[in-house]
A and B are shown apart, each in its own frame.
Chain A
Amino acid sequence: MESGIRVLLLTAALALLAALSGCASVRQWFHRAPPSASGDTADQEPPRVVEPEVARRKITVPRIHSRNIELGADYGVLSIEDFGAHPSYGLTAAYHITEDFFFQAEVGRSRAGLTSFEQLSGVQLLTESERRFTYYDLSLGYNFLPGEAFIGRGVAMTSAFYLLGGIGGTDFAGDTKFTVNFGAGYRVVPADWLALHVTVQDHVFQSSILGTTKLTNNLEARIGTTVFF
């Protein structure tokens, strides 16, 4: 009985093979060479003298480097309303989205002086640590007047006058205030990787340090240098 099953299975397998050999895809298993178009056979081909052993070269396409990010530092003067003008310094990072627009993040710090009230009365309104003025901005920049700047005959540098506007926070007098900033700047690009900036920016926030609540304008002028990469 057992051998009967074996015979049956064998017959089924043979029948399957016979059926498959008619199938086009299976025929490829047995006839590996592709059918030649001319129709005549391989014995007319000249005998192969040299076996080509050249491996196909793998071409790697070099990646294009994008230089849209600008990082740098700046130094300037910040005029804190009622507290005098003092040196400020900061770090900037920018990402150029299109030739017109860029996104800029900036952190900066300065120190407030004495108000005229404090100078006259000798009373200190703020502690030393409260006089520290730290701000950050997230801004959108628009290259308003792109152009070129020339030094003499031989040197031409691309440049742009740009407008900035954005939001951020200012930590001053023991509190952090929602801050709106706007400003304008001028950028010169002496080399593909380097840019020089002159920026004037106003940081506006609501303050009630001196009794009444008012909008304060804190103007900052600074020069900076950034590196593209």
Chain B
Amino acid sequence: MTPRARQWALAGLVLLAALLTPATGSAREYLQLFVTQPYLELHTGPGRGYPVFHVVPRAASVDVLFRRTDWFKVRTEHGVEGWASQADMQKTVLADGTTFHFDVGDRAGFTSHRYEMGIFAGAYGGASLVSGYASFSFNPQLALEGALGEFLGRYSNGYTGDIGLTHVIAPEWRWSPFLTLGLGEVYTEPKATLVQPTNRSEPTAYVGGGVRYYFTRRFFLRAEYKAHWVMTKRNENEEADEWKAGFAFFF
């Protein structure tokens, strides 16, 4: 093992140790919910196929330990732990009799949500592009968005970073178009055979648009085009087209 490899391995171990600490943390207070339906089914695992092994009768309560995707790990008054589905949990009530509301990944969530993340494959100025983005929505129409990408081409490789605003024209539509505008930076590493072999970092500005298509649950597909203006230090500015498509999810 080289010293570098040893450093990596050590860093991994330290990270793992740090992660283990909160996971095995101290006792905490759990949300208590009451069953209003004839019974609440508990499954052995967080998935639709896992068998029901226990039922909690009406008016009994469960403590919600945590949530994984659309399943809730709960503990009954007798200490039995199992997984309850999102659909069943929506019919439970809090101690004061009010319905238990929580965020659900559905079409309404697609229209209005806080965060979004996704990955894309595409082309940037003729090179292959791998890209990812994250966005924060102020309201269903306006979002602040950041994207990072790596382009890998025949003549040059490099990275792009963008930050900008996105305006969703009609968030309630399943095919939902949007416009985007922002600033960025592009770092280019030309391959050695070219005239201008120095690595360079240049500011960019972009305008673009695209479409989102709600697929299922928390998923949607997204395709977009951005026209970039690269402010070079040379006599002429450059233009670069970015096309990409991928999948994204909201939460």
Contact = CB atoms under 8 A, between A and B. Distances in A.
Interface of B: 2, 5, 8-9, 12-13, 15-16, 19-20, 22-24, 28-31, 44-50, 64-73, 94-96, 102, 105, 117, 119, 121, 128, 130, 132, 150, 152, 157, 191, 217-219, 247, 249
Nearest to A189: B45
Contacts of B96: 59
18 contacts: A59-B96, A61-B31, A62-B28, A62-B30, A65-B66, A67-B68, A73-B16, A97-B219, A98-B105, A103-B249, A138-B119, A146-B50, A148-B45, A158-B47, A158-B50, A175-B191, A192-B65, A194-B23
A63 B95 CA distance: 15
Q: Which of B15, B71, B73, B152 has the most CB of A within 10 A?
A: B152
A133 to B, nearest CB: 12
B119 A64 contact: no
B4 to A, nearest CB: 8
Interface in A130-186: 138, 140, 143, 146-148, 156, 158, 166-169, 175-178
B16 A227 contact: yes
Contacts, number: 124
Main SS at interface, chain A: strand
A103 B117 contact: yes
A59 B98 CA distance: 13
A98 B152 contact: no
B45 A64 contact: no
A169 B130 contact: yes
A108 B191 CA distance: 24
A154 B29 CA distance: 29
A89 B24 CA distance: 25
Main SS at interface, chain B: mixed
Contacts of A95: 117, 249
B30 A148 contact: no
Interface residues of A, number: 46
Given A109-B8, A169-B152, A97 B22 contact: no
B69 A96 contact: yes
Contacts of B24: 193
A169 B44 contact: no
Interface in A48-95: 59, 61-68, 71-73, 89, 91, 95
B44 A72 contact: no
Contact of A101 (B12, B66, B219): B219
Given A95-B249, A96-B69, A148-B45, 17 more contacts: A59-B95, A61-B94, A62-B31, A64-B64, A64-B102, A66-B68, A67-B66, A72-B16, A73-B13, A73-B15, A97-B219, A97-B249, A99-B46, A109-B5, A146-B50, A158-B46, A178-B130
